[in-house]
Chain A
C-alpha cells in the first residue's frame, strides 16, 4: 500500500468511500463533491443500485443511470444493476442486439441477478468507463466519487479481481480483470477512504477493516473521516462552575414560584449538559483509539448545531473537511 498525501485527495480520478451502514458516508461524499465543484472541478457522485441518498440530499427530481445535474456543479448517477449489465454486454459482446434481446429474457435476468460476481464485474466495468471518459481532451469527470455502501460489500467489489484470478484464462476476461486491478491499485488514480462514527461498533469495525486492507489489499487508502463528532456551545473553562451553580439552583427549589421555576430549569440544564459532556468524552476516547489503531490522516466532522443537515451545511462540512486535510499535510 502506498502513502497517499492527504491534501491531494481531490486530485485523484477515483475516490472510493466505505464504512459501516449508517455512519453518514453519503453526507461526506456529497460534501466533498460540492467542495470539489466549488474549486472548479467537475465531480460525479456514483451510487450503487438500490441506494437513493443523493436524491434526498440534493433535493433533486431524480438521479438516473446517466449522470444527472443535481445542482451546485455536482453530477450524480445511480448504477442500477440491469443497466450496468446491459452496458457491459454491449461493450464486450460482439453482437449488441443479441445481448439486449437475451437480457430481456426474464429467467436469464433473474439468473444474472442471483449469480455471483456478475454484478460486481458489471459495476467495476461501469466505474472504469466513467473514470476513462473524456471530453474536449480532458477527463470528463474529475473526480469520480463512489459511495461504496457498507464495508462487506465494498470488500467484495475490491476483492473481485483476486477472486476471479484463478478462474479466468488468458482471453478478454483476463485483460478486463487486469484493467480493473490496475485502476484499483494505482495510487495516482484511486484512493479508498473510510468513514466512521466516534462510537464503539463503527470504530471497532473500522479497525478491523483497516487490518484487512493492510493485509489483503493493495488499494491505496486515503483518509479516515469521523462523522458526527459531538460539540457543546459552552467554553470548556466554564464547566468547573457547573457543580456550584447546580447546588444553588437546587437550593431554590424549595422557595417561591419564580425562584423554584428558575432553579428547576437550571438543574435540568446542568443535567443535560453533563450527560452531553460525558458523550463527548466517550466520543473523544473513540477518536483517540482510532488515531492509535488506524494510522491514517483523520478528519473530524462536527455534529450539527441545529438539527439535521441541509445542503448549506453539507457544503460547509465539505469545505472544512478538505481544508482540514490540507492542513494535515502541512
Chain B
C-alpha cells in the first residue's frame, strides 16, 4: 500500500479514486455484492485497475465477471465483454470469488510448515467436523485472501465484499480472534510440551481446565481437540503474523469502509449496530450506500419523489379522453394510477425519513441508489448504477 496521509473525502467518487482498499460491510440481503461489483466497474471506468473480491454472486453476474465458480482464481474481465456491454473502461477490471467452502483447507495448506503438519490437521476429526463452522472462519478466510491480493502489483484498488458471517463484526475481529483462539495461555493447556519438567508442569496446570472442558464437551472430544491443537500449535506464528498484516490493512488511512444498506428500518437497525461496533473498534465508515432505497418515477430518475398532487380524476378524463365510451372504467383507471403514485410517493417518503434518522458521526458520504426495474445480472446492469454512484460525473 502507498504511504502518506489520506485526502479528505466527501463523495464516493473520491473514495474510488483515492483509496487502495474499500471494504463493503452491511446487513444481509441488501445487495452488497452487486454494489461492490458496481463500484469496481465504476473505478475501472475512471482509470483505476480494480479487483473486486466477491462473496456468492448470483450465477449470471458471476459469469458476466468471468467467474466460472470452479475456483477462486483472479479473472480479468475481458475488454471485449466490456465493449459488448457498451461500457467504456479506461482501467482494468478483475474479479475473484471468495470461496469460503474449501478455503479453510487451502489456508491450512498455505500456512502449514510441512506436509506432515498439514496432513495431521486435515485428517483430524475435529477439524473435519468443524472446518466450515469454525466460528468466524469465513471472515478469517476473507482476511487471508485480502492479505494475498493487497500485495499484488496488478491492482490499484481492491474492493472487498464481506461474507455473511453470523456476526458482521467478525471481519474486524477475525484476525485477532483466531490468534486468541490459539493464544499461548489457552492452547498451552492442551499442547504437550516436548520435554520433562515442562511436560509434568503442563499436566498439573491444565488438569482442572481439562476436567472443566470434559464436562462441557465430553472427554472424547477433549482428547480429539488436544490432538487438533498439538498440530495447530505449530501454525500459530504464521497465523499471528498474517493476522497482524490483515489488521494493518483494515486500519490503514488508504482503506475505507463503505456501509451498504437498504432504507428498510430493520436493515438500518442492523446497519446502525454494525456501524457502532465498527466505530468501537477504531474504524470510521466513510460512505453509506442506501441501495434500492426509492422507486424512481417521473422524468428525473435521480429525484426522490415523496409527494404527488394529482388532478381530480373527472377533470383528467374530461380533458384527455372526453369521448371515452366506457367513461366509468377509464375514470377508475385514472384513480388507480393516482393511488399507485400516491402509495409510491408515501413509501419513498417513509424511506427518506428512515434514512434521515440514520446518521453516522463524521463526514460519511451518502449515496442513494434507486430500485431499478430488473435484477442486475450483467456488466451492462452494473454500469446502469453509475449515475447514482457518481452523480457528478
Q: Does A249 contact B (CB under 8 A)?
A: yes
A186–B145 Cα distance when bound, in Å, is 42
Q: Does B136 contact A (CB under 8 A)?
A: yes
Contact residues in B for A197 (Cβ distance below 8 Å): 29
Q: Does A245 contact B (CB under 8 A)?
A: yes
A residues 273-330 with Cβ under 8 Å of B?
A: 273, 275-276, 278-279, 304-308
Binds B, one of A66-74, A86-94, A134-142, A217-225: A86-94
The winner among A98, A116, A271 for most chain B CB atoms within 10 A is: A116
Which DSSP category, helix, strand, loop or mixed, fits chain A's interface?
A: helix
Shortest CB-to-CB span from B270 to chain A, Å, is: 7
Q: Does A64 contact B (CB under 8 A)?
A: no
B residues 192-215 with Cβ under 8 Å of A?
A: 208-209, 212, 215
Contact residues in B for A50 (Cβ distance below 8 Å): 166-167, 169, 273
Shortest CB-to-CB span from B185 to chain A, Å, is: 5
**Quick check: A92 and B215 within 8 Å, CB to CB?**
yes
Q: Does A4 contact B (CB under 8 A)?
A: no
Q: Does A212 contact B (CB under 8 A)?
A: no
Q: How large is the interface on A (under 10, 10 to 19, 20 to 34, 35 or more residues)?
A: 35 or more
On whether A169 and B219 interact (CB within 8 A), knowing A21-B28, A241-B329, A242-B333, the answer reads yes
**Quick check: A22 and B330 within 8 Å, CB to CB?**
no
Contact residues in A for B133 (Cβ distance below 8 Å): 116-117, 120, 156, 159, 163
A171–B236 Cα distance when bound, in Å, is 33
Contact residues in B for A57 (Cβ distance below 8 Å): 266
Contact of A272 among B177, B326, B341 (CB under 8 A): B341
Contact residues in B for A102 (Cβ distance below 8 Å): 208-209, 212
Contact residues in A for B350 (Cβ distance below 8 Å): 307-308
Shortest CB-to-CB span from B172 to chain A, Å, is: 14
**Quick check: B265 and A308 within 8 Å, CB to CB?**
yes
Contact residues in A for B326 (Cβ distance below 8 Å): 241
Q: Does B107 contact A (CB under 8 A)?
A: no
B residues 52-80 with Cβ under 8 Å of A?
A: 58
Q: Does A40 contact B (CB under 8 A)?
A: no
Contact residues in A for B351 (Cβ distance below 8 Å): 307
B residues 303-346 with Cβ under 8 Å of A?
A: 310-311, 315-316, 319-321, 326, 329-330, 332-334, 336-341, 343-344, 346
On whether A115 and B181 interact (CB within 8 A), knowing A53-B266, A245-B330, the answer reads yes
Shortest CB-to-CB span from B100 to chain A, Å, is: 9
Q: Does A182 contact B (CB under 8 A)?
A: no
**Quick check: B311 and A262 within 8 Å, CB to CB?**
yes
**Quick check: B340 and A273 within 8 Å, CB to CB?**
yes
Of chain A, the residue at the smallest CB distance from B265 is: A308
Contact residues in A for B267 (Cβ distance below 8 Å): 22
The winner among A113, A232, A265, A269 for most chain B CB atoms within 10 A is: A269
Query: Could you list 17 further interchain pairs (A-B, Cβ under 8 angstroms) beyond the known A114-B178, A117-B129, A232-B340?
Result: A21-B28, A49-B167, A50-B167, A107-B183, A110-B180, A114-B177, A119-B135, A121-B217, A150-B164, A235-B332, A266-B334, A268-B297, A268-B299, A269-B337, A270-B337, A272-B344, A278-B373
A contacts, CB < 8 Å to B: 20-24, 26-27, 49-53, 56-57, 88-89, 92-94, 98-99, 102, 107-108, 110-111, 113-121, 149-150, 152-153, 156, 159, 163-164, 166-169, 171-174, 197, 199-202, 204, 232-235, 238, 241-242, 245, 248-249, 252, 258-259, 261-263, 265-266, 268-273, 275-276, 278-279, 304-308
**9 smallest beta-carbon distances between A and B, as pairs:** A22-B29, A21-B28, A173-B218, A269-B337, A234-B336, A116-B130, A307-B350, A114-B181, A272-B297
Listed by A's residue number, 6 A-B pairs whose Cβ atoms lie within 8 Å are A89-B216, A166-B129, A167-B224, A234-B340, A235-B332, A263-B320
B contacts, CB < 8 Å to A: 27-30, 58, 125-126, 129-130, 133-136, 164, 166-167, 169, 177-178, 180-181, 183, 185-186, 208-209, 212, 215-221, 224, 262, 264-267, 269-270, 273, 295, 297-299, 310-311, 315-316, 319-321, 326, 329-330, 332-334, 336-341, 343-344, 346-347, 349-351, 354, 373, 375
